[in-house]
Amino acid sequence: MRIVVQRVREASVSVDGEALGTIGPGLVVLVGFTAADDPESTRWMADKVANLRIFNDEAGRMNRSVLDVSGEVLAVSQFTLYGDATKGRRPSFIRAAPPEAANPLYESFLAALRELLPGTVQSGRFGAAMEVALVNDGPVTLVIER
């Protein structure tokens, strides 16, 4: 499982002009899966996202989590996180989990996030061509893998 976490001032995701999720200050989490991932990985990663200390405290140090700042989370599935472009000019996605395996993992990740951060988690639509808009804060961007 691989995620890209971005600290944002605001963000939204839409499909065909329909807004699916909109958040204020918080995190955008792009999430991808491999066939080797399991629900335990999704719970571990959800806990990491909820408790990752990347928001500034009163002294300006990254010492507070999205929980601490009452921030929101927008989680978007993105199989292209496992794209391999080392050979040729067209990326290979062979390491990405197939949709029938990835969708339940994505739902498990969302459920774990919503348990840790009730009322503050929005999401995209699995498998859809989505439009994600965001305003980075910092910018602060991290890649985390398990």
Which residues are known catalytic residues?
A: 78-80
The CA distance from 56 to 89, in Å, is: 40
Cβ proximity of 143 and 45 under 8 Å: no
Q: Where are the beta strands (DSSP E) in the chain?
A: 2-15, 18-23, 26-32, 55-56, 62-64, 72-77, 121-123, 131-145
> Residue length, the chain?
146
Tokens 């496992």 — which residue?
Answer: 82
* Helix-then-strand count for the chain, H and E: 2, 8
CB burial of 118-131 (b: ≥16 within 10 Å; e: otherwise) equals eebbbbbbbeeebe
